[in-house]
Amino acid sequence: MKKKDKPIVVSIETEASAAMIWHILTDLAEMWQLLFTEIPSFVLEIGFPTMFDLATENQFFRHHWLVKEVVPKSKLVIECSCRRHLG
């Protein structure tokens, strides 16, 4: 994504409570179950970076996440980038 591109905003409707969604998006054990087991660590604080790789048969994707904004139990902004590597 280029600097001039608009950010991608994900919005879903669910019957789960806001507290449950917050827990799923911010608790590492929940992230491992529902997102990626490759996430090495996650701390809910502005400026926290994490990096992990997801592999397929002949390529892998390096993911970089940076926590940009946290409003407890209300808003979480993570800057994400992904770069594909062959090999």
pLDDT digits (tens, 9 = 90+) for 29-69: 998 998 888 999 999 999 999 999 988 888 889 999 999 99
Average pLDDT rounded to a whole number, residues 66-83 = 92
Q: Residue 71 domain-assigned?
A: yes
Q: Highest mean pLDDT: which of 9-13, 65-69, 79-83?
A: 65-69
Q: Is residue 56 part of a domain?
A: yes
- What's the total number of domains in the chain? 1
**φ, ψ (nearest 5 deg) of residue 54:** -120, 130
Residue 31 resides in a domain: no
Residue 87's alpha-carbon distances to 40, 55, 56, 58, in angstroms, are 22, 10, 10, 5
Express each pLDDT in 12-27 by its tens digit.
788 999 899 899 889 9
Domain contains 7: no
Q: Is residue 10 part of a domain?
A: no
Is it the case that residue 1 has pLDDT exceeding 60? Answer: no
CB atoms within 10 A of CB 67: 19
Asked if the structure places residue 67 within a domain, the reply is yes
Residue 81: give the domain boundaries. Answer: 38-86
Q: Is residue 81 part of a domain?
A: yes
Contacts of 58 (CB under 8 A, 6+ apart): 86, 87
